[in-house]
Each structure stands twice: as structure tokens, then as C-alpha cells.
Chain A
């Protein structure tokens, strides 16, 4: 069966899903000015000091996280002793809100959050690690720890028997999802709302099981993995319907412990409140029973199991006698933790017991308690074995239609984006832009060879000039015929091209005054020399004027820096191969070349005047020399360190407007820089365009280092004596720095990284308590000679710098450990801590190549080898290749074109690209394109986002990769004056406003979010980036990247690469489309 589609990704998808996020500032946790105070209750009252946090749902249907910590972020408050809370939610925020109720303290010792026992027979609990059941009396409070779900970080809990995993669980008690927070709304957060909240994150958005055809389908559709307002509304109303309550969010549940004092405005309201309170209390009993049956508290995950089973059955419960449920985590059949029979029976029994309890106290309960008990009894009689409930959501038709409309908009926009290149702006502009682009390409084809000749000519002139200054002017050089004067004393060369005035080029040099704070402003020697070009350089139809400014102040110069003091520009070793005139004696590899053309003009004057082109601008760039760490004798090669370019490209005069010449012109600005250009030894002497963002030859992901990059050994050393707290008593270890004063013999496992210093795993002898102190330290290459001598400080023979003595060791970790006090035991204990420590131990950065993982683990093994005292060498496997890269690029282009009749300027187009890309797979990119903008709105960082105007069309794409390997992106599309047209087959499409079409003229502002997650991280994969944009670039891991499609704040679908090159958009109504043609 054919399984491949030819997919042409639309114009922006390649950019779009590769775009940046200049405006992705983290959501502030401070309370905004426009507050909407909502109030509510946790559980059914008397849940004391519970932390309540409101977390907004992002445009991508995900919870808002703090960018730095990864924690949920949002306004917070705590409940009072009655379990009540008030919280301010931003009513201007169109996002859905998820409210979380959590334990409010961070350590077991300080736990103060308390939950009330709602069970008349008392609450049997096994608190902490105890297996003893303690019975909490009716209405007494107890710690919330019992309700925590231990599933979240269970993998990180290496030793569940110890108490160190207190942070290894989710402190969340319950949640509630709100599609909207109305002012003054009453909100419940309890076990029932938690079921609905979880269900809304994995919800089914359609009802029924009718027959489907290619256009529509009535069957329920699962839309897992994101919150949508529609999904939240559906989940809340369906759960309400399931339990017979009008609204689980706003109906206040009765506090079973205070049944004798409750009241309501009507009997039906009171019954609803009692019913709700009883059902919440029933869940408390069911959870306690479930958890008490577990031997190990770390097995407790009632919330997760219940929510998983509930979502699996599409928001339904088995009425009674449920079949077994296949638990994917346990990989076995388990029993359902909740059926309607169990729930309602328990609730009924609780109410009956409460009635007895209060009667025994001579208190009278409302008659509605009896009514609710009777209602439960009646409902229990009608339950069918093995059948699911048939709870239905309550979604108004208008809301459902509205949501379906948003899906139509999203589909129409996707289709528009597929052909955006053909539909951008309007036909006249597209025709002109296309012709102009073609003209530029043709000119480029003609100019490029000439420009290359100019470039090579300049270098040739430079070599020729050096021959003049160091030997004699090379008569064999083609420029020698233009040599009309060489002033040897001033080292000034004049090339004259014709007798016309100014038709000459003068090359000279000057020693650069690098020490500006002394009296000598005209030094005769320096580390840098400027070679200055003045005048004109002509070649074929191209003329370069080194300084077009009227003041003639814009010297064109080439600054050449050396690593030794020179008095003049020296014969150049890097250019020797390409320049036969270069003197052979005394050649030096420069440290850097810095070009500076502050007022350069290029004129292209072909016979066809229509193709005339003038480029005026300022240019500068710096090339930095790099040595090969593997071969000190290898030639120096050069990386582009920074580049600045501002230019105005203008064509011939096409007409006049108010006596001003009309010309097609483009204003362009480019600023680019590299953060650490010395950390890459390129393949070619000078950088070429195809060198960027690719690893050097032989250093791709997974490549073997080919040489030993790690040498291990175990060394005896003396360190400061320590006391029982680990503080030194002779000498000191202060802030991780080991200072002199040695007394204790320690063992050091040295990781000599050969190219970048050493790591030292230091183990003290075991103390009286059988614990030993272990330190993880690093040693710089400069301090390694002192380490070899057994020193603590860098004093003594190797220190010739005269600097103040400092510690040889820089220790990042110090702690006491159990077990045998050996370096092998110590490093294995570190190894087991978490994946980051594993990476730290085995990661080795080799300058110019990248980060290797030392091949410590033998094939088929998972443990470290036993390190011996003698030296052992290890090769490495490349994990994060270094890239030749420009880290930051800002490119702005403003084409200003003349209309087809050459009578006026066309509307302006603005293009703005901002790229931060330190490595090939780490990217932060923003791209903005606007047609006819009246006003451009910027982010806080000054990057354009949306253009406004009467006839504007703008696209903004933001994309970036996060430190954890995930990607987020945002696309904003603004189109004033468009129409959404019915395609006749149920589909819709966007078009420019056409007055003859009855569809209304509309303004569209789309916001399409992409939030790409990579599935579960693979701890063994190390550097694991792979995904939507950089799929498989530098990892062997299989990715499950997902982009979320949102429109006007509503999640409407997802986008995934379901087959190689096949991107499929799946919408929440079950429909799908392969993006592309």
C-alpha cells in the first residue's frame, strides 16, 4: 500500500516552524492591575493552608512555565482555616486557567497543610513510612502528604526506602480547570474537579458514534495533550452530568462535618450541595482504602490511576462490575479504582453514617439529607453490570458552532500559508517584486564575476604592495603596469589607471596606536598595522570608490593584527598560497584581519542603462585567526567574528514625482557577530558560506575522537584536615576553594582531559560514623603543573606569572557519602545521582571540535569500569559538535519600488530577521514580513511583531529551542481587508477583498502557536536534541514532536511529522490534512 505522499511544505512552514520568539518573555507571577477576584473552597471546606495557584494556559494549550526553572507559574494564595481562598486572575487574559491546590510547605518537618476528615466513621491513614493505620476522627484534620501522587518523579528516586525522595512527588492535591474566570465567580477545587481537569487535558470533543464520511464524522475524537476552552467546558459539564450536579465548579459542596448547620436558598440547591459534598467525601474514603492497601507509599498514585482510567473511557465510569483495566505502566490488568456503584454507595453510606452521628448528638439534619440518600438508592438500582455510564456534556450549539468556525479559520489559514508566496500583498506588487527580483538576479549574475575580480584584485594589490615594502615591487604582477609611484620612505604605493583626475588608488600603511593612554600618539611599532586604501578601483563595468563622502573622511582600511610587535605590515603566510607576489621571507600568520569600509560606493554601469545599479554603504568585518588544538604546527585559519553592513541599492531613474527622481531602491542593514569564534578550527583558510552551522569534517555527532581524550589515574594526595562537618581545621575549603594547610592523606581519581584541564574526584578517609567526604573538583590547564607537584596552591616553581597564589582546585561539589571510602565507590555514587551528573563526568570539551562523551562504558554495560591506580586512556564519541557560526544576526530590508507606470512608489514592504544561533540546533529566530504597514508594533526587545494599517498584511514567525531540547514557536498573521470564502465543498479559504463577492470584508488576526515537545527524554542518549525543526540532526533518538495550532486563543489542532517529510495537521473535530501539495 502506498504510504508516502509528496509533500511540498508551504512557504512559511520551513520558516514558520523554524521561526523565533523574540517576545516569549515569561509570564509574570506578579498580580496584574486588571484583577478579577474569584473566591472558592478547597475540598468541601476546612482544608487549611493549602496553596492555590492559578496557571494560565498558553496559546499552545500548555500550562505556563517559568522559562528558567521550568516550574508552573501564576498567581498564588493560600486557604484559610475554613478552606476558603480568594485569588486575583487577570480578566484581560483570554487564556483558560487551571487552578491547583497543593501542600504549601517544602519539607516534611514543616508540613502545615491540613485536610479535614469527612468520614463519620473516621479516616484510616498510614502517614509517612509507617504501615500502622492511624484513625483520624470525623472532622479532625490531618496532613496532606497522604494525598500526594508519587508518580511524577518516581524514576529519580533511586532509594525509595529512604526519606530523601520527599521532593520526588507532585505536591498537587487537586486541580480545577476553568474555561473562563468570571468576576466574583465561586470556584471549587476538589477531587471531582480534578477528575474533570485531567479529562479536559485528554478530552474527546465530539459526541455520538454515527457513521463518518470523508467530510464529517460524529464519532468521539480524542484530542490529547492540550487544554482547550472547549475541552474544559466539555469535561466540566460531562462530569457534572455524570454525578448529577448542575456545575461542579460553582455549586458549593456541603461540608459533611457541618451537615447540621448548612442551609441554601432552595431545597433543590441544598440537595445538590449535600450530594456533591457526599461524593467528595466518598472519594476521600475510596482513596484512603486504595492507598491503605499498598505496602509502599511510593506506590500511591490514586489521582493518576483514576484520571487515566476515566480518560481512557472518554469521561465515563463503569456503572458496576467493571472489567479489568490494562495499566500501561504496570503492563498488567488491574481493577478499576472507581465505579459509579462504588462511588454512589460510599456516598450514600457516608450520609447515612453522618445522619446517625448527628442524631446521636441530638442534632437535627435537614430533610434534604434523607432525600439525597433516597436518590442515591434509587440510582443504584438502575445500574447495569459491565456497562459504561452515558454522561453527556452540555455545550451550547452556538459555542460548538463558534469553535467549529475557529477550526475553519485555522484550516483556511494553513491553506493560505501553503500558497503565501503566491498570494502575498496584491497582484500589482507581486508582479513588480517578481520583475525586480529577476532584475537583481540578472545583475547579480553579471556583477558577481566582476565583484570576485575586485576582491581578488584587492588581495592581489595587497600582495603586490607587500612586495614593494619588503623587497622590490614584483614586476610580474599585473598591477605593476599601473604603478606610477612607490614612496619607500612612507611606504605609499600609487596606482594610476588613467590621466583623469582622481582615477587612481593610493595604498599606504600606518602603525596603530593601541596604547591610547600614553603620550605617544604616533608609535613606530605595534601589534597592529592599518593598510589604507584611498581612491578608485576599476575593473570591467564595476567601479569602487573607497570613499564617496563629500568630506572624504571614510578611509577604507584593512587592519592586520599580529601576535608580535611589528613596525610595518608583514608578509602574509595565510595569503601566500594565493598570491605569487607575496614575499617569502619573514611571513607571519596574522592574528586577525579587520576590514573597515565606512563610505564605500560600488557602481555597476553596463551598456543597458536599465540595469544600472549603485550601491552605497558602510561595511566592516573582522576575521579572527584560530589554531588547531590537535596540531600546533597546522596553519592558522580564520573565522568571521563580526560583520556590519548598511547599504542602499538603487537602480536607474524611472520617472519623476514632484520633481523627485523615482528609482527602485532597497535599504538593507545587516549586523552579525559570533560569540566565540576561536572555538572552531574551520576546514578552509577563510570562511565560506557553506562552512556555517556544520561541524568540521570528521566531527559530526557520533564520530569517534580517533585519539585518546581522557587519561585516568588514582593518586595519593594530602588535603586539609576536616572536622565532622566537613569544614577544614587546618587550612580551609572555603566556597569550594581548597587552600593550603595539608594534613590528611586522600585518594584522588584524576580525569586528565588532555586538552582542557583535569577533574579530580577526591575521597577523604571514612570518619567515625563510617561516612566519608567526597569532593568533585576541577583543575585548569594552567594549574595542572602544580597538581603534578602535589600542591594545593599555585606557588613555587611553575608560577612565573607573578600573580597572587590561588588554589589549584576549584570544587563544585562537597558532601558526605555512605559506603566504602574509595574513589571508585565515590564516582559510582555520583554516577547514580542523575543524568546531568553522568554527563558532567563523561563530557569533555575539545576546543574547535565540540563536546565528546568519553567512552567509559563498555559495549553492553551500563556501569562505569573499575578505575585502577595506573594510567588508562579512553577515546570519546562526539555528542555536541562545535559549529562555525555567527551567533547573532539582525537583517532588515526595506524595498521601495516604483509602480508599473513609473508614476509613484508602491506600498512599502518591511522584512526583519533576527537570529540568535550559537549552534546548529540551538536557535532563537524571529522573522517579520509586512506589506504596506502604517504602524509596526514591537516586542519589548524592539523586534517587530504585528503591522497595523488599513490595507496591511503582516506575518511574524518566532521560534526558539529551549535548553531542555524542546522548541516553542509562535506565528502571528494579520490581514486587514480579506475575505473568508466558502469553497463549496465544506472548506473555506482566504482571499483579498473582492467587492463583487458577497462575503464580508474582514480583518484577521491569527495567532498560531507551536509548542514542540520531544516525548520522554532518553537519559542514556546524552545530548538528545532532535525534533520538529532539527529532526534527527544530531541524535539517534526517535522524536515525537508536536506543534499546537491555536486561533484566537483556542487550541484547534496539532501538527506533527507523521511520516518522513509528511506533516499532518490534525484538528480537534477529528479532521486532518496533510500540509503541502
Chain B
């Protein structure tokens, strides 16, 4: 039924003699790691370190088709259908937790008791999304436009969970805490579970207002989302390795708990993207908030004979360049030219063939 509806809409879109249609492919990535360089997140916290609370990465590659939607010679907006592959990774932790993990990695002793408070959310998923972008309409003296996007995912690998406890002063390996862990492949111990792919959806929306040369845009990505695995694996328990008097829980042995498989339902925080732009000056103020991760920046564009060249600068530290034509676009930004030491990184690329 759903497929039939989509097919009808696209037939409607593709049969327009005068509508614009395009095929496009995009690669979008925003990666940020506060405590250690992104590379060290993958290989170990042995390099440069600063206290932090957030690691965030949202990377997707998409390939799709977009077409004007015209009915009875009336433009109804644009419809898009795209296949995508998405990797999402979000860690939020207490600064003391990062101290603890750093000490554990280096084999250092802790000079004071550290709070362990970690929440993590991660999944990889192919998806199929259907998007709609309205025509520009009048709202008082403003021009308005809205759009929404419904994405369906078949998530494979996933890890969600939290660790809450303490690590008392002394040996970093001594820690006590409660684990609540959901996954398809146990990275903590080795719970032998066979987990089928899950099913998820995410609804995103955007709204644009323009007044003269000023334009404001708000995008709410993953505004409503839900990911579910029918036989997802879980482990809950207590770790108590030399927890001492401050032990957060009682464990049999060094750790104990329960593992099993069942229905696992997860959600991720939405992402708020805002942009205020003066089009004549080609200058914009951009903001992004994803739970505890945020960034704020400026972008200045210059039209050249080869297309638009942009410069952007964000807080936390990230600077970059962008180049756009009617067919291609690329944005590259980082907080250092030495990418192996980068904590913030952004790469967007796209190709758009329209007719």
C-alpha cells in the first residue's frame, strides 16, 4: 500500500512536461570529539587530551531523485526519493568520566574519586526516505516554505546504553557502576546473541521565512524517530572491581547481571539546524544543536566565475571552505590542517544533475 502511494506520487511527478527533475548524490558528515582527536576515539586515548563531554558523528551518503510536483498546471512543490546509508554515533559523558577513561587507557592512578556517567547511542543503517518541499507561499509580508522528510531505516549494528557509577581514587581499573547496554554485537563482554536487523523511522521537518534580502531557516532533523529490534540483545548488570566502600552496587564476582534478547526500542535526540542569511551580502549565521552538542558559526560567500566560494568559521573551533556550482558542491572544514589531530571535522559533497 505504502509502495503504491509512493509510486503514484512519482508517476505524477515524472509525467510533468515542464517540471524540473534531478538526480543527486550527497555525502554529509559532521564529526566532533571533545576529549581526544577523532582518530584517537578509534585507536585509543593515548594522544592529546582535554576534558570533554560529547562525541558526535552523523555521517550519511545518499542517492536520490527529485522532481517538481505539478497537478493541473499547478506547482505543488517538490518530491524526492532517496536511498541512504547512515552512521550515527553519540556519546555524552561527565567530564570526570573522561578523566577516568584517560587514566584507564594510560594505566595511571586516579588522584580523586571520579563520577562515571556515560550515555552512548550508535547505529548503522541503510534507509529509504521520501521528502516533500513546498512551493514558496505568502505569509503576511513574508515568503514562506516548508518541507518534511520521512526516512525508513533497516538498522544493523547498534549500541545503546549507559554506565553510571564511580571510580574511587587509586587504581583506575577499580570501578563500580551499573551497566544498561543494548546491542547487536556485545563489545563489552561476549554475549552470544544472534540479532536480526531492526526497523526504524525518522521524521524531519524544515521551515523557511524570507523578508526582502533576509532569510531564516529552521531544520529539525529526526524530530520524531524510533528504532526497534525485535530480538535485540541486552546486558544489564553491576560492575564492581575493587569498588570499596563506595561501591554503587553489589556484584557477584567482579561483575554480574542479566543478559538476554528481546524487543529493544531506541530513540536519538533531534538535531536543530538554524540559519539566518542576508542574501545580498551572502553572509549567514548558522547554529546546530544536537542534545549536548552545539556549534555556532558564520559563513561568507563570494560569487566567482567558477561558482560560489564560501568561507565559514564555527565555534567550537572549525574553519573551512566551500565551493558550489549548480551541479556540484563541496564543503570541507576542520579545526586543524593535521587531520589526524582533528577534533572537529565536516565534509559535505554533492552532485546534482537536473533537467
* Interface membership of B258, Cβ < 8 A: yes
Which chain B residues border A213 with CB–CB below 8 Å? 236, 258
| CB of A222 within 8 Å of the partner chain | yes
- Judge whether A217 is part of the interface by a CB distance below 8 angstroms: yes
Knowing A1-B188, A3-B188, A987-B252, say if A217 contacts B258 (CB, 8 Å). Answer: yes
Give the complex CA separation of A1059 and B255 in angstroms.
13
Please name the residue on chain A nearest to B187 by beta carbon: A3
Using known A-B contacts A214-B249, A1056-B190, A1058-B190, determine if residue A1077 contacts B261 with beta carbons closer than 8 Å.
no
A1073 vs B254: C-alpha distance when bound (angstroms): 7
Q: Nearest chain A CB to B244's CB is how many angstroms away?
A: 12
- CB A329 to nearest CB in B, in angstroms, measures 14
Return the chain B residue nearest A208 by Cβ. Answer: B262
Contact B173 A1071 (CB under 8 A): no
A1070 to B253, CA, bound (A): 16
Residue B178 lies at the interface, judged by CB distance under 8 Å to chain A: yes
Interface string of A1055-1077 (1 = CB under 8 A from B): 01011001011100011111111
Is residue A414 within 8 Å, beta carbon to beta carbon, of the partner chain?
Answer: yes
Q: In the complex where A1-B118, A414-B253, A1073-B252 touch, is A220 in contact with B261 (Cβ < 8 A)?
A: yes
Contacts of A1066 in B (CB 8 A): 191, 259
B273 near A: Cβ within 8 Å? no
Q: A217-B258, A221-B260, A415-B253 are in contact. Are A1064 and B189 (CB under 8 A)?
A: yes
Q: Which residues 75-129 of B have a CB within 8 angstroms of A?
A: 100-101, 104, 118, 120
Residue of B nearest to A4 (CB): B173
Per-residue A-contact encoding for B225-254, CB less than 8 Å = 1, 0 else? 000000000111111011000000111111
Give chain A interface residues in 173-206, CB to chain B under 8 Å: 206
Mask of A207-230 contacts with B, CB within 8 angstroms, 1/0 = 001001111110111101000000
Report the bound CA distance from A1065 to B262 in whole Å.
21
B163 near A1 with CB under 8 A, answer yes
Is B256 an interface position by the 8 A CB rule? Answer: yes
Assess whether B291 is interfacial by the CB under 8 Å rule: no
Most buried by A among B118, B178, B188, B260: B260
Q: Is B13 an interface residue (CB 8 A)?
A: no
Could you say which residues of chain A place their CB within 8 Å of the CB of B187?
Answer: 1, 3
CB < 8 Å: which of B104, B191, B253 contacts A1077?
B253
Q: Are A5 and B252 in contact (CB under 8 A)?
A: no
On whether the beta carbons of B236 and A2 are closer than 8 Å, the reply is: no
> Is the beta-carbon distance between A214 and B263 smaller than 8 angstroms?
no
* Cα separation A1 to B239 with both chains bound (whole Å): 13
B98: shortest Cβ distance to chain A, in Å? 12
- Closest residue of chain B to A415 (Cβ to Cβ) is B252
Question: Is B174 interfacial (CB-CB < 8 Å)?
Answer: yes
B190 CB contact (under 8 Å) in A326, A987, A1064, A1070: A1064
Instruction: Please give me the residue from chain A that is nearest to B180 by CB atom.
Output: A214
**Hey, which chain B residues are within 8 Å of A7, CB to CB?**
254
The answer to whether B190 and A1073 have CB atoms under 8 Å apart is no
By beta carbon, the residue of chain B nearest A312 is B194
Nearest CB of chain B from residue A16's CB, rounded to whole Å: 15
Least Cβ–Cβ distance between B181 and chain A, in angstroms = 9
Cβ-defined contact, A212 with B250, below 8 A: no
The answer to whether the Cβ of B175 comes within 8 Å of any Cβ in the partner chain is yes
| Complex alpha-carbon distance, A1070 and B189, angstroms | 14
Among A6, A209, A224, contact of B173 (Cβ-Cβ < 8 Å): A6
In the complex, which residues of chain A have a beta carbon less than 8 angstroms from the beta carbon of B104? Answer: 2, 4
Q: B254 contacts A5, CB within 8 Å? A: yes
Least CB distance, B38 to chain A, in whole angstroms: 16
A1056 contact set on B, CB distance < 8 A:
190
Report how far A411 CA is from B251 CA in the complex, Å. Answer: 12
- Check A397 for interface membership: any CB of B closer than 8 A: no
CB pair A987–B163 under 8 Å, yes or no, is no
Does A808 lie at the interface of the complex (its beta carbon under 8 Å from any beta carbon of B)?
no
Looking at the assembled complex, report how far the CB atom of A316 sits from the nearest CB atom of chain B, in whole angstroms.
12
A1070 with B188: in contact, given A415-B253, A987-B252, A1077-B241 (CB under 8 Å)?
Answer: no
Task: Let me know if B257 and A1072 touch, CB within 8 A.
Answer: yes
Verify B250–A985 contact, CB threshold 8 A: yes
Please tell me if B209 contacts chain A, counting CB pairs below 8 Å: no
How far is it, in angstroms, between the C-alpha of A510 and the C-alpha of B261 when the chains are bound?
79
Q: Does chain A have a CB within 8 A of B138? A: no
Q: Is the CB of A212 within 8 A of B260?
A: yes
Which residue of B has the minimal Cβ distance to A326? Answer: B196
Smallest Cβ-Cβ distance to B188: which chain A residue: A3
C-alpha spacing A1059/B191, complex, angstroms: 11
A1072's partner among B174, B194, B237 (CB-CB below 8 A) is: B237
Give min CB distance, A449 to chain B, whole Å: 37
Task: Assess whether B262 is in contact with A220, with CB atoms less than 8 Å apart.
Answer: yes
> Is the C-beta of A418 less than 8 angstroms from some C-beta in chain B?
yes
With the chains together, A2 CA to B120 CA distance in Å? 12
A253 to chain B, nearest CB (A): 33
Chain A residue at smallest Cβ distance from B240: A1077
User: How far in angstroms is the closest Cβ of chain B from A752?
Assistant: 47
Q: How far is the CA of A215 from the CA of B251 in the complex (A)?
A: 10
Residue in A2, A219, A411 whose Cβ sees the most chain B Cβ within 10 Å: A2
Asked if B192 is at the interface of the complex by the 8 Å CB criterion, the answer is: yes
Closest to B174 in A: A6
Docked Cα-Cα span, A973 to B259, in Å, equals 28
**Residues of B contacting A4 in the complex (Cβ-Cβ under 8 angstroms):** 104, 173
Instruction: Give chain A interface residues in 225-281, CB to chain B under 8 Å.
Output: none
Task: Point out the residues of chain A lying under 8 angstroms from B241, CB to CB.
Answer: 5-6, 1077
B239 to chain A, nearest CB (A): 7
Q: How far is the CA of A1074 from the CA of B190 in the complex (A)?
A: 11
Q: Are B239 and A5 in contact (CB under 8 A)?
A: yes
* Contact across chains for A1059 and B190 when beta carbons are under 8 A apart: yes
Residue B321 lies at the interface, judged by CB distance under 8 Å to chain A: no
A1072 and B254 form a contact (CB under 8 A): no
Mark interface residues in A294-314 (1 if CB within 8 Å of B CB, else 0).
000000000000000000100
> Which residue of B has the minimal Cβ distance to A211?
B262
Quick one: given A220-B260, A1070-B260, A1077-B241, are A6 and B178 in contact (CB under 8 Å)? Answer: no
Asked whether B347 is an interface residue with its Cβ less than 8 Å from the other chain, the reply is no
Structural contact, A219 and B261, CB atoms closer than 8 A: yes
B97 to chain A, nearest CB (A): 10
Q: Given B120, B189, B257, B262, which contacts A1062 in the complex, CB threshold below 8 Å?
A: B189
The reply to whether B188 and A1073 contact each other, CB–CB distance below 8 Å, is no
Q: Is the CB of B261 within 8 A of A222?
A: yes
CA distance in complex: A312, B196 (Å) = 10
**Least Cβ distance of A842 to chain B in Å?**
34
**CA distance in complex: A4, B249 (Å):** 18
Whether A224 touches B192, Cβ cut-off 8 Å, given contacts A2-B175, A1071-B256, A1074-B256, is yes
Measured CB to CB, the closest approach of chain B to A4, in angstroms, equals 7
Which A residues lie within 8 Å of B175 (CB)?
A: 2
Cα–Cα, bound, A1065→B104 (Å): 25
Which of B190, B239, B254 counts the most chain A CB atoms within 10 A?
Answer: B254
Give the CA-CA distance A1033 to B263 in the complex, in Å. Answer: 41
Query: In the bound complex, what is the Cα–Cα distance between A1071 and B237 (angstroms)?
Result: 9
Q: Can you list 12 A-B pairs with a CB-CB distance of less than 8 A?
A: A1-B101, A1-B163, A4-B104, A209-B263, A214-B178, A411-B252, A987-B250, A1066-B191, A1066-B259, A1072-B256, A1074-B256, A1077-B242
Q: Which 6 A-B pairs have the closest CB atoms?
A: A1058-B190, A1073-B256, A219-B262, A1074-B254, A1074-B255, A219-B260
Residues of A near any B CB (own CB < 8 A): 1-8, 206, 209, 212-217, 219-222, 224, 312, 326, 411, 414-415, 418, 985, 987, 1056, 1058-1059, 1062, 1064-1066, 1070-1077
